[in-house]
Chains A and B, each alone.
Chain A
Amino acid sequence: MSEPTLVDQLKQKFGAAITGANLENVDPWIEVAPEAIVAVCAYLRDEPSLAFDYCNSVTAVDYLHVDEKKAAKSEWQPHLEVVYHLFSMQHKHSLVLKAMLARWRDDEVGELPEIDSVAHVWRTADWHERECYDLFGIHFLGHPNLRRILCPEDWVGHPLRKDYEMPLEYHGIRGR
Chain B
Amino acid sequence: MSTVDDPRTIEFDVRTDEMLVNMGPQHPSTHGVLRLVLRTDGEVVSEVTPHLGYLHRCAEKIGENLTPRQFIPYTDRMDYLAGMNMNLGWALAIEKLMKYEPPEKGRHLRVIISEMGRIASHLVGMGAYGLDLGTFSPFLYAFRERERILDLFEEVCGARLTYSYITVGGATADLPPGWLEKCEAFLTQLEPIIVEYHTLLTTNSIFIKRTAAIGVMSAATAIDYGTSGPVLRGSGVDHDLRRDGEEIYTAMYDGYAFEVIVEKNGHYPKDHQYPAVPQEAILGDCWHRFYVRMLEVMQSIDLVRQGIDRYSRASGSYGEPMKLNQKLPKGEAYLETEAPRGQMGFYIVSNGEAIPWRARARSSSFCNLSVASELCRDCLIADVPAIVGSLDIVMGEIDR
Q: Which residues of A contact B (CB under 8 A)?
A: 25-27, 53-57, 59, 61-62, 83, 85, 89, 92, 94, 96, 122-124, 126-127, 135, 148-152, 159-160
Cα–Cα, bound, A123→B218 (Å): 14
Which 6 A-B pairs rank lowest in CB-CB distance, beginning with the nearest? A124-B226, A57-B362, A150-B53, A150-B56, A26-B333, A127-B370
Partner of B58, one of A53, A55, A160: A160
Q: Cβ of A56 and Cβ of B343 under 8 Å apart? A: yes
Picked from A54, A83, A152, the residue with its CB within 8 Å of the CB of B223 is: A54
Given A122-B224, A135-B60; 15 other pairs, CB 8 A cutoff = A26-B99, A26-B333, A53-B224, A56-B226, A56-B334, A57-B347, A61-B349, A61-B357, A62-B358, A85-B334, A85-B345, A85-B362, A94-B246, A122-B226, A123-B226
Q: Is the CB of A124 within 8 A of B370?
A: yes
Write the nearest CB–CB distance from A150 to chain B, whole angstroms.
4
B residues with a Cβ closer than 8 A to A are 52-53, 56, 58, 60-61, 96-97, 99, 223-226, 237, 239, 244, 246, 331-334, 336, 343, 345, 347, 349, 357-358, 360, 362, 366-367, 370, 399-400
Question: Binding site of B, secondary structure by majority: helix, strand, loop or mixed?
Answer: mixed
Q: Say yes or no: A89 contacts B237, CB within 8 Å.
A: yes
**C-alpha spacing A150/B52, complex, angstroms:** 6
| Contact assessment for A123 and B370 in the assembled complex, using a CB-CB cutoff below 8 Å | yes
Checking B97, B239, B367, B370 against A26 with a beta-carbon cut-off of 8 angstroms, the contacting residue is B97
Q: Is the CB of A27 within 8 A of B333?
A: yes
Q: Enumerate chain B residues within 8 angstroms of A59, measured Cβ to Cβ.
A: 347, 360, 362
Contact of B345 among A25, A26, A53, A57 (CB under 8 A): A57
Smallest Cβ distance from A8 to chain B, in angstroms? 23
B residues less than 8 Å from A57 (CB atoms): 334, 345, 347, 360, 362
CB pair A53–B223 under 8 Å, yes or no, is yes
- 13 residue pairs of the A-B complex, CB under 8 angstroms, read A27-B333, A53-B224, A55-B226, A57-B347, A57-B362, A92-B244, A122-B226, A126-B370, A127-B367, A148-B53, A149-B52, A150-B56, A150-B399
